Amino acid sequence: MTTTAGALADRLRHLLGPDRLLEGDLARNLYSHDGSIVGGDCGIVALPETTDEVAACMRMAHEAGVDVVPRGSGTGLTGGAVPLEGGLVISLARMREMGEVDVANSCMWVQPGVLNLDVSMAIAHLGLHYAPDPSSQQACSIGGNVGTNAGGPHCLAYGVTVQHVLGVEMVRPDGEVVVLGGVAPDPPGYDLRGVVVGAEGTVGIVTRVLLRLTPLPPDVRTMLLDFLSVSDASAVVQAIIAAGVIPAALEMMDRNMTMAVEEFVHAGLPTDAAALLLVEVDGTAAEVNTATEVVERVAREHGVRTVRVAQDEQERALLWKARKTAFGAVARVKPSYYLHDCVVPRTRLVEVMEAIGEITEREGVICLNVFHAGDGNLHPIIALDRSDPDETERAMRAGDQIVRACVAMGGTLSGEHGIGVEKRDYMPLVFDDDDLEAQACVRRAFDPDGRMNPDKVLPTGTRCGEVGLADTQVPEGTWI
């Protein structure tokens, strides 16, 4: 440990006490990972509990010139919370307080370590919920959701995180605390709140979030449609929306995924079907009935085999459990997975699913698909055993080709997981040098020293005003 880092550790220990500053090798090892396969190198870990403590940590890091990586629950899938070259990890996991619900304005301030699902559970008695529902919602934090501009099945109808965050309190890299946005529908000036949401911790650390709360729908119906061909299922997705129904959620799961998850949930999913669609419609009873009829009719026109309508809340919860625990169930196939979350225009879904099938077959890897079909947000999960270098290589190659195929069809890199480290070097596929430079300038305006979550999001060569100068410091440990 260098003298500066050692001095920083002393100051932080004095501030937080030994229990809230982790310095041991094994603890640092655990904080070198998140939910992805990216591995890094963690310096020390601080666990502040208040905005003031975060501000003090940030000031100390600023004075020591040490890099800072913010971390929520560590469920991210792109290495966004993984420190690459030492530095200070600030975990917000102990900042778990929720404020009072502002019923008149349907909003509430919460600390960033509050878990997504805990918000909805805490306000259900008021007939409200927090609409964005990432599949990891039982474990992921609001701070992480803000960082990645997280999505979720119900974002098709309700919109993603940025539409549900009215304001943020943020600690800037030098320790200054600012509040951006607020209860007013359109605060004057630039929408800096919109810059912070999805910035993946590169502009500061969010210490409080003003969440928009949404009324629970009066009625809801969940249907499971099963198909004997992936193409038929893909075609139905576009056809349902073309018929004028925007479901609350419209999810697809292929056969490989269905088989893995059914072993865990025992929801009676048909494991012989090529693809399943999970369709949820909500609204008033009349709206739900009409939408259900349209969905059923369109599905029959496209050769649906069976339509199963959840009969009660218990069955509905079971179907959603199958969907939301799918990623974790991959370990039943292989010990690791590698996935992208590219988005393609819905009209290209049939083509892209065929392309994914061809690519993974060519590379000889097992691919499991479970994704937000309604908004064209794919999640091709490639199952792999990282102790097999050849299989790892093939999985990486397949992932690379899938990204390129999606972009070629007019798609983009990420729907909700963020860019992190894992998709960083694909950024030039969708942005030219000028675009990247403009983004680097925005980042630099917030973080002039480049200490906030460095080497994430923008390719390492991208520096404000000096795009194109190759930076040879490729982070080690990526793809372990």
Q: In the complex, which residues of this chain contact other proteins (CB under 8 A)?
A: 22, 24-27, 29-31, 33-35, 47, 73-75, 91, 93-94, 96, 113, 115, 117-118, 136, 138-140, 261, 263-264, 325-332, 335-337, 385
Counting Cα atoms < 13 Å in the Cβ hemisphere of 314 gives 1
DSSP SS3 for 177: strand
Counting Cα atoms < 13 Å in the Cβ hemisphere of 8 gives 28
CB of 403 to other proteins, least distance (A): 21
CA pair distance 129, 121, nearest whole angstrom? 8
Judge contact between 91 and 47, C-beta under 8 A: yes
- Residue placing its CB nearer to other proteins in the complex, 368 or 413: 368
List, in order, residues 6 or more apart from 179 with CB less than 8 Å away.
Answer: 167, 168, 169, 170
Ordered DSSP codes for 441-466: HHHHHH-TT--BSTTSSS-TT--TT-
CA pair distance 428, 421, nearest whole angstrom? 14
Strand partners, 169: 179, 208
Return the structure tokens found at 215: 């009324």
- Residue placing its CB nearer to other proteins in the complex, 175 or 328: 328
CB of 18 to other proteins, least distance (A): 13
CB of 237 to other proteins, least distance (A): 25
- Residue placing its CB nearer to other proteins in the complex, 276 or 458: 276
Nearest partner of 69 among 475, 480, 465, judged by Cα: 475
Judge contact between 440 and 56, C-beta under 8 A: no
- Residue placing its CB nearer to other proteins in the complex, 22 or 107: 22
Strand partners, 214: 129
Judge contact between 380 and 365, C-beta under 8 A: no
Radius of gyration of the chain, Cα coordinates, nearest whole angstrom: 22
Return the structure tokens found at 309: 């309508």
Counting Cα atoms < 13 Å in the Cβ hemisphere of 53 gives 18
- Residue placing its CB nearer to other proteins in the complex, 191 or 263: 263
- Residue placing its CB nearer to other proteins in the complex, 117 or 355: 117
Cβ-in-10-Å burial (0-12, 13-18, 19+) of 374 comes to: buried
CB of 444 to other proteins, least distance (A): 31
CB of 31 to other proteins, least distance (A): 6
CB of 390 to other proteins, least distance (A): 18
CB of 17 to other proteins, least distance (A): 13
Indicate the angle between helix axes 389-408 and 349-363, nearest 10 degrees.
160
- Residue placing its CB nearer to other proteins in the complex, 30 or 246: 30
CB of 264 to other proteins, least distance (A): 5
CA pair distance 43, 32, nearest whole angstrom? 9
Judge contact between 447 and 427, C-beta under 8 A: no
Return the structure tokens found at 149: 């501009």
- Residue placing its CB nearer to other proteins in the complex, 93 or 318: 93
- Residue placing its CB nearer to other proteins in the complex, 142 or 329: 329
CB of 325 to other proteins, least distance (A): 4
CB of 209 to other proteins, least distance (A): 17
- Residue placing its CB nearer to other proteins in the complex, 203 or 265: 265
